[in-house]
Structure 1
Amino acid sequence: MNISVVIPLLNEQDSLNELHDWIAKVMQSNHFSYEIIFIDDGSTDKSWKTIKQLSQKDSNIKGIRFLKNFGKSQALHAGFEKAQGDVVITMDADLQDNPEEIPELYNMIISEQYDMVSGWKKKRYDSVISKNLPSKLFNYAARKTSGVKLHDFNCGLKSYHKNVVKNIDVNGEMHRYIPVLAKNAGFTNIGEKVVQHQARKYGVTKFGMDRFIHGFLDLITIWFLSRFGRRPMHLFGALGVLMFAIGFAFAIYLGIDKLFLNPFGRLITQRPQFYISLVTMIIGTQFFVAGFLGEIILRTKQDKKRYLIKDQLNL
């Protein structure tokens, strides 16, 4: 099979028929063998009913329905597990991603041998204040932190070689950082393509300020995991040594001062340096304990399912 199109969605019933027809037209005109995997992430409208109807008239349609809303990352993870195509295309269900981009995204993986290609919505039709400016700030921070030189990390339209999606673990809300996850896994040939962005035709955006804040928190998380995820003691141990050394230096200073320089001065417990020494050595010890606990958890953790599937179609 040439292409798997993975589409996570939440309450997008109005756009699904049009999106399916558009994708099918592109695939058939380019003679691709394909599958379309819709992942219903706990929709409360008639999205799943629409997917069932589409699957009855088109055997290329496959569906996964979550028991409740588990998030876009979990939806992508489920889609990646089921995808059978040589190239996997992800896109949003709101018709803001253009299926006409699929052939070139496919060719960039097959012919130009990229591991993955990320779309870049250079011209956007979103609100400048609520989405465009925060997105630019977020992408700048992501580039500087991760070292992956992309303009638009959060674009839903991406293409992947099948080896990428089968070897990365998309969890939490890490769908924004799939290029970083791919790089950390060793897939470093990451390309970018300017793609057409379209104004939303149906429904309302799921983007809010909370997602903007969560994005930066996730950026810190992925920076930590990429550098110290397999060796937490390297970070916490270094901080522990630093804090303990500061505290111990103050303790030595107080001891020398009391014994040799000012034996009849104030009691050690009446000097602020005593409490600085005590607190920093305690914090240093806590950092060491955190490092040990991190190493123990890393060696004993068991993978746990992060979502529950209620129903499936053609899978």
Structure 2
Amino acid sequence: MNIQENISLKQFNTFGIDKKARFFTAVQSVSDLKIALTWAKEKHINTLILGGGSNILLTQDQEALVIKNEITGIELVKEDEKYYWVEVGAGVVWHDFVLTAIQNEWAGVENLSLIPGTVGASPMQNIGAYGVEIKDVFHSLTALRKSDLELQEFDAKSCAFGYRESVFKHELKDKYVICSVIFRLNKVAAYHTDYGAIKATLAQNGIEHLNLKSISDAVIQIRQSKLPDPKEIGNAGSFFKNPSIPASQYESLKADYPEIPGYPNDEGVKVPAAWLIEQCGWKGKRLGEIGVHSKQPLVLVNYGAGDGNEIKKLAEKIQKSVLEKFQIEIHPEVNFL
């Protein structure tokens, strides 16, 4: 096992924040992972597991062994008349898996095209976009328990999925390392085109007969038009979750702000955080080397030499202004480290 010391993590996080890892290694298998965790335990050093680094904000150097999860593999493990069960290594780039699914006509993840990050993070965050969430296609995952290096399987119920939430962000945070995920994908596609601009984009592209690729292409087109490429400008995609508020509060706000968008759900009404942030005047605002994206106020950006603590303070200012103006709390989707 190759353990490096004092390694910059700039290239390993999509914000491009230049913080250091006291120790760093990459693992390509479960046995590699066990060796790395054992080494850290013997040295009494904490561990931090990194996937694509697309949902983290580094605010300090990491006095830990940072383990880059590069466990790969995409394998069809079972099928019946309705479904395919596909096992995917946690280190596989999410969009690469989506493209493989489309190529093989495994339906269900096409609306999740171009989401940054790796497969291992997908159930942890219950990632979602354009009317689809991981929980809709999730079957199970295998994770390594850090305390005794035993593998454990988790089904959907034990993952306790919520909106951009799972048990791995709460009770089991830092206790397990996800090694692989099994998705249950459809043999017959159920196309989701009602969310966002998908229908309009399909029409614009002249698509008359839907297929997985046409849906994926539309989603990619929409995302690229709204979201900055992390290779060009540092960001972690959507920084805040969309809040849900009681229906009574929404109706009260609608009296003052007739144009406020809202989507009824089990918790009341979901209000787009991007709209709230824009109403508070943050869209396109630049503060030195950091700021809020000019096209999508949900995205905080690092123009090059920004620091994680500066972005954290900006996020706190945005939260405060939204709370003061609308009495709505918005919470980060990004994990602060």
TM-score, length-normalised on structure 1? 0.24
Look at both structures and tell me which one has the larger radius of gyration over its CA atoms: 1
Point out the structure with the larger strand share: 2
